[in-house]
Structure 1
Amino acid sequence: MSRRIYNGMLLAGVSVALGAIGGYWFAQQHLQAMPSAATEASASAAEQRPVLYWFDPMFPQQKFDKPGKSPFMDMQLVPKYADAAGDSATINIDPRLTQNLGQRLATVKRGGVASNLEVVGVLAFNEREIAVVQARTSGFVERVYARAPGDVLKTNAALVDLLLPEWAAAQEEFLALRRNGDAELLAAARQRLRLTGMPVALIAQVERSGKTQPILTISSPITGVLQELTVRAGMTVAAGDNLARINGLDSVWLAVAVPEAQASVLAIGQAVEARLPAFPGEILGGTVSAILPEANTNSRTLRVRIELPNPDGRLRPGLTAQVRLTGAAEQELLWLPSEAVIRTGRRALVMLAEAGGRYRPVEVRLGRENEGKTVVLQGLEEGQQVVASGQFLLDSEASLKGILPSAIPAAKELQP
């Protein structure tokens, strides 16, 4: 009897265990079926949303017509749905968050934009104030005065004494005719001395003293710096040989390099202010005397020559100067603060602020920049507001959302 009871109880336990196992299996199958159904429903809903294109958030300007892996980054392409097209051109930011982002707006204005330019220059000799001293006839160097390159000379400062045999013979002939008393022959002989290159002062000295003057003292014709002295005592010189070269100091050149992008600011006769570290607190005035026709291909700059007066001779070539070129302000130009511009290398963008906390990237074509103002040639209108601080955060958000800036029409080609 006890064995029968034991068998009955064992059978009942096995039945309960089998029932529990069957229930657990059924529950697991039901639970696994539920997410699959949800996933399929979600996928079905996603398939029903029309997709405009797929894009890589890191390169939103590139669009793809089918899903897959990005050729730029190791990530899947993101779909851009048609029902989100209404928000695809702008970014919405809660106005309460703009202060936390440090955002600041600026207004596009129309008015005068100055054409001032700050550059650095170096003083140089005025190449127009050069005196070259030459021998007018052949002779010998009797004496060289104590001069050396770099000396500052006064006008008529003695340089060398030359012994000129040819001039001495011509002077003897002239004095013989003078003793003869024939006025016409004397006038002809005097003219002949001039044609040999003899200075008028030397001819007058010979006629006044009645003696030949075989030694001629060569002196500096101007006040300036002795650049070259090419003779020594005992040398033989021929007609046309260079004896010395002197550079005047009445004025100096200020050579500056102006970026080619600022070429429109330059003009001949333009007023210039120069500040030299050698003379702190002083402002020297000058004018643009020349804009050289050839640009520097390495630095992409134009060479400009400014002439500064130097009456006291204290401006020395080689000194540096901070130069300000002042031009007339052009009126009725559309401009915005330079800090609002986002330069990508190939184009310039701004974040245009719209009503309701919306922002839109806009491509602009810019003109010159001066004193924190940049001229707008195309892309904006007067009175519009742009983001002047915090625009880079908005630009990054626009890139992540695949929002492309509104482009401006390509510039028309000039017809020949």
Structure 2
Amino acid sequence: MNTKKIIAGLTLLAAGIAIGYGASQWRSSHSTGDTQGPGASETPDRKVLYWYDPMQPTQKFAKPGKSPFMDMQLQPKYADEGGQADNGVTVSGQTIQSLGLRTAPVERGRFAASVDVVGTVQLNDRDVSIVQARSGGFVERVYARAPGDVIAAGAPLVDLLLPEWIGAQREFLAVRALKDETLLAAARQRLQLLGMPATVIDQVERSGDVQGRYTVTAPQGGLIAELMVRQGMTVSAGMSLARINGLSTVWLEAAVPEAQSGTTQVGQSAEVRLAAFAGETWRARVVSILPEANKESRTVRVRLEVPNPGQRLKAGMTGQVSLQGRELEALLVPSEAVIRTGRRAVVYVVDAPGKFHPVEVQLGAEVDDKLAILGGLTAGQQVVASAQFLIDSEASLKGILPAAAAASAAGGAASAATVPAAFSVTGVIQNVSPTEMTLAHEAVPGLKWPAMTMAFKLADPKLAQGRKPEQKVRFTFEQRGDDYVITRIEEVSR
């Protein structure tokens, strides 16, 4: 009997535990369902500001219903929900402290925009001399010269024997003996036309001796870039004998990024620092900006002229070029305060302690760690200089647009409301009533809609006559206020 009583007691105890556990689970599930159900958030004392589509949070609606963009219900936005004040974001003081959020003032200052690029030293192709034979003849001697040699102005290059000069000089001397000034002037002119220098003509006239040999000298000092003559060669009038490149100045060719080339101008000054001469700075000047950009590197070639005293600069050397822009005055903010999305640049302006709103700005040049602001801000405003990406994420979730972008979106909406556009697409009827029709329709490129299922209003109840689910139709609709209204519909054969 005692054993039976013990077993009965244990059974009753186990049953009580099971019943208690089940009751607690029932209450927990019903409590959770109440807090998560649609009616829980819609308490009578909460004021609804507007309704919105979570996938298109910037679009606001005055009443609940289905989203015109997606097959889902609109969500309410309540007045007591935090995180948004007007077109801004509210952040608690504790969060600001934990994020280490810093602000910086918008200041007006002066700066000289500079562009730092790498340049390569080249020979100055504007300082070139071509040495040519003035008359046909023979090469008797080539002086010890070779391409790459550096020579001084007047240095001998080659001795030529010119038979045409010999015959013309003898005729000149014979005419001189006649003492006829007219014939003498004509004979002297013939010698000049044969390319004979005035010094040689004077020497022949003064000495009475024929000068058949002529030493060709360098017209300027510099580098022998080419030497096209060898001993024993026959040369003709006008044949090139040598090419000499001057070295008093050199070019420095730099590739300036396309985005920074707009401020570069001919005559602009620059500073050059070469790896071969550490600690030295060379002054340069922009002499030309080539009219064609490199398609692969997206750079513009800029040529600078650099004085070369002592011929220390050698072609092929590389150096750092700093193009000095003119001094400008502009609003400046820290570079880290600007969020660049690719389509726009945004900063967060401080409205009050813990309250911020995004502003789209126009950027100018960047100098050190400062960015010039061409539009969007005023001097004296405070902007967020750190942790702004977290604020931007919150703003994106709330559908908050920068000031300029919001104005653009509002302008586009107003324009669309003024002149409603009509769109024609094909769809399949899902549900139909005298005032509304739900269709699974194809994409609408004009509105950037994907293929989806949504409800449309009917402009006339007669449009619903003869229509039934699963029927394929082609329909035309337009936007009227917050509704999309079907104005024409016709059946399409499958």
- Relative to structure 1, the CA distance from residue 52 to residue 197 in structure 2 (aligned partners, 3 Å threshold; closer, same or farther) is same
Identify which of 284, 290, 293 aligns with 1:292. Answer: 290
Aligned pairs (5 A) from 1:131-280: 131-280=129-278
Residue 378 of structure 1: aligned partner: 375
Aligned pairs (5 A) from 1:57-72: none
What whole-Å deviation, never above 9, does each CA across 1:188-209 have from its counterpart, x for those lacking one?
Answer: 2111100121111221222233
Residues 1:34 and 2:6 aligned together? no
Residue 335 of structure 2: aligned partner: 338
Distance in 2 between the 1:194 and 1:98 partners? 90
What whole-Å deviation, never above 9, does each CA across 1:75-112 have from its counterpart, x for those lacking one?
Answer: x9996734466633544334355454333211112232
Moved more, 37-46 or 186-195: 37-46
Residue 446 of structure 2: aligned partner: none
Q: After TM superposition, give the deviation of residue 378 of structure 1 in Å.
A: 2.6
Residues 1:390 and 2:387 aligned together? yes
Distance in 2 between the 1:328 and 1:146 partners? 50
Q: 2:66 touches 2:74 (CA, 8 Å); kept in 1?
A: no
> Any gaps of 5 or more consecutive residues in structure 2?
412-494
Q: 1:257 touches 1:301 (CA, 8 Å); kept in 2?
A: yes
Q: Aligned AA for 2:343?
A: R
- Relative to structure 1, the CA distance from residue 124 to residue 241 in structure 2 (aligned partners, 3 Å threshold; closer, same or farther) is same
Distance in 2 between the 1:180 and 1:218 partners? 32
Q: After TM superposition, give the deviation of residue 405 of structure 1 in Å.
A: 3.8
Residue 83 of structure 2: aligned partner: 87
Partner of 2:310, secondary structure, is: coil
Q: 2:51 touches 2:74 (CA, 8 Å); kept in 1?
A: no
Q: After TM superposition, give the deviation of residue 382 of structure 1 in Å.
A: 1.9
Partner of 2:275, secondary structure, is: coil
Distance in 2 between the 1:407 and 1:394 partners? 18
Residue 432 of structure 2: aligned partner: none
Q: Aligned AA for 2:348?
A: M
Identify which of 320, 323, 332 aligns with 2:321. Answer: 323
Q: 2:51 touches 2:60 (CA, 8 Å); kept in 1?
A: no
Partner of 1:190, secondary structure, is: helix
Q: After TM superposition, give the deviation of residue 13 of structure 1 in Å.
A: 12
Distance in 2 between the 1:226 and 1:78 partners? 82
Q: Aligned AA for 2:243?
A: R
Q: After TM superposition, give the deviation of residue 342 of structure 1 in Å.
A: 1.6
| TM-score, normalised with respect to structure 1 | 0.81
Residue 40 of structure 2: aligned partner: 45
Q: After TM superposition, give the deviation of residue 61 of structure 1 in Å.
A: 7.8
Partner of 1:312, secondary structure, is: helix
Distance in 2 between the 1:295 and 1:385 partners? 40
Q: 2:102 touches 2:386 (CA, 8 Å); kept in 1?
A: yes
Q: 1:152 touches 1:225 (CA, 8 Å); kept in 2?
A: yes
What whole-Å deviation, never above 9, does each CA across 1:167-188 have from its counterpart, x for those lacking one?
Answer: 2211121122223333332222
Partner of 1:116, secondary structure, is: strand
Q: 1:55 touches 1:77 (CA, 8 Å); kept in 2?
A: no
Q: After TM superposition, give the deviation of residue 317 of structure 1 in Å.
A: 1.8
Q: After TM superposition, give the deviation of residue 62 of structure 1 in Å.
A: 10
- Relative to structure 1, the CA distance from residue 53 to residue 22 in structure 2 (aligned partners, 3 Å threshold; closer, same or farther) is same
Q: After TM superposition, give the deviation of residue 118 of structure 1 in Å.
A: 2.1
| TM-score, normalised with respect to structure 2 | 0.69
Paired residues, what number? 393
- Relative to structure 1, the CA distance from residue 62 to residue 345 in structure 2 (aligned partners, 3 Å threshold; closer, same or farther) is farther
Partner of 2:374, secondary structure, is: strand
Distance in 2 between the 1:375 and 1:77 partners? 45
Partner of 1:46, secondary structure, is: coil
Moved more, 116-125 or 392-401: 392-401
What whole-Å deviation, never above 9, does each CA across 1:290-321 have from its counterpart, x for those lacking one?
Answer: 22222222222222222222232212222222
Residues 1:303 and 2:301 aligned together? yes
Q: 2:225 touches 2:244 (CA, 8 Å); kept in 1?
A: yes
Moved more, 214-223 or 370-379: 370-379
- Relative to structure 1, the CA distance from residue 358 to residue 172 in structure 2 (aligned partners, 3 Å threshold; closer, same or farther) is same
Distance in 2 between the 1:149 and 1:78 partners? 83
Higher relative contact order (CA 8 A, sep 6+): 1
Moved more, 395-404 or 248-257: 395-404
CA RMSD, Structure 1 to Structure 2 (Å): 3.7
Residue 3 of structure 1: aligned partner: none
Moved more, 40-49 or 153-162: 40-49
Distance in 2 between the 1:250 and 1:364 partners? 48
Q: 2:52 touches 2:59 (CA, 8 Å); kept in 1?
A: no
Q: Percent of counterpart pairs with the same letter?
A: 50
Distance in 1 between the 2:273 and 2:217 partners? 36
What whole-Å deviation, never above 9, does each CA across 1:6-63 have from its counterpart, x for those lacking one?
Answer: 9xxx9x999999999998897677556534543453312235686733436xx98899
Identify which of 351, 357, 362 aligns with 1:360. Answer: 357
